[in-house]
Amino acid sequence: YALEQREGVKRQSLAADIQAELDKLLWADLLILNFPIYWFSVPAILKGWFDRVLVSGVCYGGKRFYDQGGLAGKKALVSLTLGGRQHMFGEGAIHGPLEDMLRPILRGTLAYVGMQVLEPFVAWHVPYISEEA
């Protein structure tokens, strides 16, 4: 898949929708991802966006990763919602540390392609809080 992406970049033959998203990403200084946690991960549609838009040959590949990634100089902010309460996450808590759950996206995806990952914003227990909260 990565080799096909590289060929698509080289030939300028990426699908139009993917190229449009990639162009927006390359233009932006800050990427904000806002999503609910589903089954300890991102929703499938967001995972699909990562798989399709973070193309090899532009965002990563060869020696392009982490501080040398293709998106170096850009920032990423993850804003997420959870159904669980804050006390349910952490060392010894039922779900374990939230950081462990977020590592694949923060480190393995966003930092891997070179982005400076900002401290995530977490909205706890969202389906159950009052309108005022």
Q: What is the pLDDT of residues 91-122, one digit of tens each?
A: 999 999 999 999 999 999 999 999 999 999 99
pLDDT tens, residue by residue, 14-60: 999 999 999 999 999 999 999 999 999 999 999 999 999 999 999 99
CA quadruple 125, 129, 131, 133: dihedral positive or negative? negative
Residue ranges covered by each domain of the chain: 1-123
How do 116-117 and 30-36 pair as beta strands? unpaired
**Is the pLDDT confidence value at 131 over 90?**
no
Show the tokens assigned to 108: 């393995």
Burial of 94 from C-beta contacts in 10 A (0-12 / 13-18 / 19+): exposed
Residues in the chain: 133
As a CATH number, domain 1-123 is 3.40.50.360
